Amino acid sequence: MIKKQQYIDEIENEIEKKVDKRLNVQKITKRRVNSMARAKFGKTLRQCSKDEVKTIHKFMNLTVTEEEIPEKTFEEIFEEGKTRGPIDREAVMAKSNNCCDECNNPLNKERDGETHIDHKRPKAFFGSDNIDNLRALCVSCHNARRNNPNYAHKMKLMNGLRTSAGMTGNATHLGLFAAAELVWNMHSDTFYDKYEVMMQLDSLVDKAEMFMNSSPECGKCGFFESYCECNTFTAIKPHNLDNWRIE
C-alpha cells in the first residue's frame, strides 16, 4: 500500500525541480505546494486527506512506485509494541518538515518545550517507537488530542485494563494486547467501562477455543482430521487460551 507521505514527497520533489536554486528552495517549494492545495481543497497539502493528495498527484501526471510491504504477523506486532528504544527526534522532525503534523505551523528544531513528539498509536496501546508511529506536534495540537473526549475515554479504559492485568510499563500479556485492539478500534460509545471490554474479550476467547477444539489438528502432521494422511489420527491436546483472559 502506498502511503500518503510518498505522494507528498513526489509532489514536493517535482515542484522543487522548478525552483531557482539561488533562492530559498525549501520555503518556496512549501509555499507553492500549499498554494496549489489551497486552490483545490482550501487547506495545506499535509492537511489534505490521502485521496485529496492523490488527486493533486494525478493532476501533475506523477507516478509513484508501490513498495511491497510484507504483512506483519500477530506476534511481530505484539513484540514490536513492547519494544522501547531511543527516539530519533531529528528524523521525526525531518519527516514532518519541521512543521506540526496537524496544523502545519513551523516548529523549532531545538528542545524548546513547544514541540512534542507524539505516538500516533499511544504506548499504552502497544504503539511502537518506530518512526512510522511518531510525529511532531505543537503544544496546542498535542493538548487538543489529549483532551479529546473519545481519546481520553480510550486511555481511561486501557489504563484500567492494565491495572486489572497487573501490568505497568512494558506489557507481556497477550490478552491485554487483544483488549488494546478492541478499545483502540472501537467507536466512542462501544464500551462504557473496562468490565465490558473484559466480557467481550472473554466471549471472543470462548468462541476461539470452541472452534479450535471442535476441529483438532493431528499431532503428527498438523492437518485437520479430514485432510490427515497419517495411519492413525492423533488429536493434539485441547487448546487452552486462558492466557488471553484478563482477570
- DSSP run (H or E) holding 3: none
Q: At what angle do helices 4-17 and 50-59 cross, to 10 degrees?
A: 30
pLDDT tens for the chain, residues 1 to 247: 567 888 888 888 888 888 877 778 888 888 888 888 888 888 888 888 888 888 988 888 887 665 555 666 656 666 666 667 788 888 888 888 888 888 888 887 666 667 889 999 898 888 888 888 899 999 999 999 999 988 888 888 888 888 877 754 444 567 788 888 888 888 766 777 878 888 887 887 787 778 777 777 787 777 777 778 788 877 777 777 676 677 6
Whether residue 72 contacts residue 80, with contact meaning beta carbons closer than 8 Å, is answered with: yes
The pLDDT value given to residue 191? 76
CATH 3.40.50 fits 74-146, yes or no: no
Q: pTM for the complete prediction?
A: 0.57
Q: Return phi, psi of residue 38, to 5°.
A: -65, -35
The pLDDT value given to residue 169? 47
Q: Which of 166, 170, 34, 162 is nearest to 106 (CA)?
A: 34
| Domain assignments of the chain as residue spans, ordered by start | 4-59, 74-146, 151-244
Whether residue 188 contacts residue 153, with contact meaning beta carbons closer than 8 Å, is answered with: yes
The DSSP code for 219 is T
Whether residue 169 contacts residue 239, with contact meaning beta carbons closer than 8 Å, is answered with: no
